[in-house]
Structure 1
Amino acid sequence: MVEHDHSELTPAEAELYDRQIRLWGLENQKRLRNSKILIAGLNGLGAEIAKNIILGGVKSVTFLDHQIVTENDFASNFLVPRDCLNKNRAESSFSRAQALNPMVEVKIDTGLLSDKGEDFFKLFDVVVILESTIAEQIRINNICRANNIKFYATDMWGMFGFSFIDLQDHEFVEDVVKHKIISKPNEKIKTEIITTPSKRSLKYPSLESVINFDYNSPSFTKRMKKSGPAYLVMKILQNFREDEKRDPMPSSREEDINKLLAIRNGISSVEIVPDIYFEHVFAQISPSAAIVGGAVAHEVIKAVSQKEAPHFNYFFFDANNSCGFIETIE
């Protein structure tokens, strides 16, 4: 958990973060300044998350990524220069990320996520995981739950993206807006807006508990018909990653679409998840990465600063409907 910072902001920090302090308050900015964030996976989505968190003014951001830069990265990762092809993604993202905010310490780790144990994750207040398998996400989420670390799992395939949040027992302050009547009796009614801070709390379920429920039940099928098939699309894409040890690739487009449809047919129906959902899941698209990355980074900032109600507990961006929405699954 982020420790409370009793020190005052320096004049340079106060000037740089002036707009944010006016938005969410000095004490919340101090909480941000004292937080240490891990981002594992520096693809286009990871770059968008990193940008917004670094600009927010946290203490440090660690980039964990063992993969090399490919041509696909240039379509969405603005932190990677063109001359970094075949170099490590985390190292290649360092210079531009650090230039965003010199007051934030940017650290690089080129190791494997699967090699990191409990002692590593205990170094952070927030852990954001991208491009990993479900088994790996569950392993890390359980470590985070045991150590009161805020956990985010997020991914993007083409124009489709999601995030899962586990803040365990989370307390926050939310402004409650009321209208107060200020007019005198027998006068035309006049009101003014009164904003009162209210302390709230939420208890989040673990990833393991929500990922293993029966999504073929009649109640869930009815729910998907109403809210859309985003959850099942996510499950299908995650199952593809588990089976193929990779994500769908443009170079094997037709073959991969057939594999995705076969997975879909095994867990759902065409009526719930139409074929069109698998036409645009190849390589990350920059505008979609900006939307999902902005949403995830905003949630991280809200959770650390303890200001405003956080998402509970899934966020989906469905580009087929040009819609981002929150889905609660317990």
Structure 2
Amino acid sequence: MLPRKRQCEEETSNNNLPNKKNLIVAFGAADSDVNSDRSLSGSNNNNSSNVKEVDRGTYVMAVGDNNPQEIDEDLHSRQLAVYGRETMRKLFGASVLVSGMQGLGVEIAKNLILAGVKSVTLHDVGTVELWDMSSNFVFSENDVGKNRALASVAKLQELNNAVVVQSLTSELTKEQLADFQAVVFTDISLEKAIEFNDYCHSHQPPIAFIKTEVRGLFGSVFCDFGPEFTVFDVDGEDAHTGIIASVSNDNPALVSCVDDERLEFQDGDLVVFSEVHGMKELNDGRPTKIKNARAYSFTLEEDTTNYGRYEKGGIVTQVKQQKVLNFKPLREALSDPGDFLLSDFAKFDRPPLLHLAFQALDKFITELGRFPVPGVEDDAQKLITIASNMNDSSGDDKLDDINPKLLRQFAFGARAVLNPMAAMFGGIVGQEVVKACSGKFHPLFQFFYFDSVESLPSEPLDPDDFRPVNSRYDAQISVFGRKLQKKLEDSQVFVVGSGALGCEFLKNLALMGVSCGNQGKLTITDDDVIEKSNLSRQFLFRDWNIGQAKSTVAASAAASINPSFNIEALQNRVSPETENV
């Protein structure tokens, strides 16, 4: 739980919300200056005018300033520099659903709320478990037994009062998805995902659909933004230019540019010419496609044999092009995934195997109603058998080697949502939602798989080492074992800087249990103070922290995430003068 400016009443009464008649409870951003607080539970709310009964779903909403607004340039200065005003305005109008509020879901929601979308709806029908403590930074042990979405909504609202943050605790229907521009599912069966994706793909306009999972040291993302999705700006860069040195009278024509700066053109780009002397035919403003792009030259798909002879001068400018992507629905993409996005060229053959592994895990869970148990060989062999049978029936796409060792590692950690993996995929998926809602930057097309099996101990561990010990680190223990967890807890760590990355590092380290043992200690130093522009990305800070020291506020917030975190904050600049501090 993060530190708060004002305390809400205990939320345990949320578990008693009626099932047949459901409640909407709203509180506005303006309430932050009022001394009296409002409970999320309708039964404890003294202002009955703010409670409405509805017939569809259970929404509990923490309402920010949802009126049309100008861009707060102080708050969003960094985003404006990257996205531009038009993209920011599109984001401000986007409503997003995030389903599954374990570690991955909360990371995605956090990033979208900080980015400033119009609304984020948090969906989960499950309850908080001690198992969730090592990956979800908004949960405390007091939240165990509460609905995950309800336990998250108020704390995530603190990140940005201009965003509507609401929770949905009932089972989703396809029709409810029509309320959103983008939907993200982090914990859903393949059968249900196909059903929802079919609806989103055929909806007019299409609803951007993302399915993502973190299973131990393995992760996946699938994106479907509709049958015809237009990318308005593929790379977000300004149009590239070059100064012409010569143009040949050939077919195709060779264009050479001055060698002061390398050209950024690519094959297939469209360019226009201006201020060319001699070969004036090029100055007609008509876009021409280039090929054979090199560092200082390229050829034109144009015959200049009968053009005037080039004399001097000239500027060539790239014409930015829109791109239309034809996404396939999930049911088709599963059997025909196309090219996989690679993150590690040393593992170029890994994505097809992980594509199979995640499908095998879904079948395992469907058949047995649970995840494989860490360290239990029979469960690992069951998953390997399922994967082998699926591979044998895949026809021409059959893999030569299904790598039983990797599948065994996959099975043992499948139930765990590890914080570092959740943080990584939360960033990836959050960015994909921004692309889906704005058309800015080329989206992921369509599958992405990642693993970090090299993080596992090189020597086999005793299966008993993976067994839970009824602690907040049980999910992490199920992957790495108790011995490594003990080493993490007793670590001595020094962190320099508590800005955007520093806040993320502190959150991750606190959740992992680093420096949380009797022998452990983390020291952080930063001589800077909090400014308003920090709030849109340095998520441990709030508006009431402006002007305070970054290191002390970040340390306090991190200790709230994990009360066992042994952390000391300094305000020294790291330099030769402070080496002896």
TM range (shorter): 0.7 to 0.9
1:284-299 to 2 correspondence within 5 Å? 284-299=417-432
Give me the whole-angstrom Cα distance separating, in 2, the residues matched to 1:277 and 1:190: 52
2:337 pairs with 1:239: no
* Contact 2:103/2:132 (<8 A) preserved: yes
CA contact (8 A) 2:388 2:402 kept: no
**Cα separation, 1, equivalents of 2:441 and 2:103:** 27
The yes-or-no answer on 1:126 pairing with 2:182 is yes
Aligned pairs for 1:1-330 within 5 A: 9-10=69-70, 13-113=72-172, 116-118=173-175, 120-147=176-203, 148-168=206-226, 169-172=228-231, 173-175=233-235, 178=240, 180-181=242-243, 189-191=259-261, 196-213=319-336, 225=349, 229-250=353-374, 253-268=376-391, 271-279=401-409, 280-320=413-453
Q: Which moved more, 1:13-22 or 1:124-133?
A: 13-22
Moved more, 121-130 or 196-205: 196-205
**Runs of at least 5 residues in structure 1 that lack an aligned partner in the other structure:** 1-6, 216-222, 323-330
Rounded to whole Å, the distance in 1 between the matches of 2:78 and 2:88 is 11
Letter matched to residue 90 of structure 2 = R
Runs (5+) with no aligned partner, structure 2? 1-66, 248-255, 264-316, 339-346, 392-398, 456-581
Change (3 A) 1:214 1:19: closer
| TM-score for both structures, normalised by structure 1 | 0.83
1:39–1:128 Cα contact (<8 Å) kept: yes
Range that drifts further, 204-213 or 169-178: 169-178
Seen in structure 2, the aligned counterparts of structure 1 residues 310 and 124 have a Cα distance that, compared at 3 Å, is same
Q: CA separation of 1:276/1:209 partners in 2, compared to 1, >3 Å: closer, same or farther?
A: closer
Seen in structure 2, the aligned counterparts of structure 1 residues 188 and 225 have a Cα distance that, compared at 3 Å, is: closer
Tell me how far apart the structure 1 counterparts of residues 201 and 337 of structure 2 sit (CA, whole Å): 23
What are the Cα deviations for residues 208-233 of structure 1, in whole angstroms up to 9, with x where unaligned? 11224599xxxxxxx98475522112
CA contact (8 A) 1:181 1:192 kept: no
Shift of 1:255: 3.8
Residues 22 and 8 from structure 1, CA distance in 2 versus in 1: closer, same or farther, beyond 3 angstroms?
A: farther
8 Å CA contact 2:381–2:408 kept in 1: the answer is: no
Higher normalized contact order (CA 8 Å, seq sep 6+, divided by chain length): 1
Of stretches 93-102 and 237-246 in structure 1, the one that deviates more from structure 2 is 237-246
- Give the Cα–Cα distance (whole angstroms) in 1 for the partners of residues 244 and 454 of structure 2: 44
Question: How far, CA to CA, are the matches of 1:264 and 1:224 in structure 2?
Answer: 20
Higher helix share: 1
1:128 Cα shift? Answer: 0.8
Name the CA distance, whole Å, in 2 between partners of 1:140 and 1:188.
Answer: 54
**1:53 & 1:89 partners in 2: Cα distance?**
18
Note the alpha carbon deviations across 1:147-171, whole angstroms, 9 max, x for none.
2111111112111110111111111
C-alpha distance after superposition, 1:23-67 (max 9, x if no partner): 110010000000000011111111111111111100000011110
Alpha carbons 1:174, 1:199 under 8 Å: kept = yes
Residue matched to 1:325: none
Counterpart of 1:124, as a letter, is: F
Q: 1:122, 1:214 → 2: CA distance?
A: 26
How far apart are residue 264 of structure 1 and its match? 2.2
Superposed displacement of residue 253, structure 1: 3.6
> Is the contact between residue 32 and residue 59 of structure 1 (CA under 8 Å) also seen in structure 2?
yes
- Tell me how large the CA RMSD over aligned residues is: 2.9
SS of 1:316's partner is strand
Query: Distance in 1 between the 2:257 and 2:373 partners?
Result: 68
Write out per-residue CA displacement over residues 243-295 of structure 1, whole angstroms, 9 at most, x where no aligned residue. Answer: 22333344x74342232122123223783333233323231111011111211
Asked if 2 retains the 8 angstrom alpha-carbon contact of 1:232 and 1:273, the reply is no
- Partner in structure 2 of residue 327 of structure 1: none
What is the count of residue pairs matched by the alignment? 304
Offset, 1:206? 0.6
How far off is 1:296 after superposition?
A: 0.9
Question: Identity over the aligned pairs, expressed in percent?
Answer: 31
Once the two structures are superposed, what CA deviation does each residue of 1:191-217 show, in whole Å capped at 9, x if it has no partner?
Answer: 3766653211101011111224599xx
Shift in Å, 1:180: 1.1
* Corresponding residue SS for 2:362: helix
Q: TM-score, normalised by structure 2?
A: 0.49
Distance 1:152 1:248, change over 3 A: same
Q: Secondary structure at the match of 2:234?
A: strand
| Pair member with larger Rg | 2
Please give the alpha-carbon distance, in whole angstroms, between the structure 2 residues aligned to 1:187 and 1:48: 46
Q: 1:245 to 1:212 in 2, by over 3 A?
A: farther
AA matched with 2:406: I
State the alpha-carbon separation in 2 of the partners of residues 211 and 316 from structure 1.
Answer: 13
Deviations 1:122-167 (A, max 9, x none): 1111011121111101110111122211111111211111011111
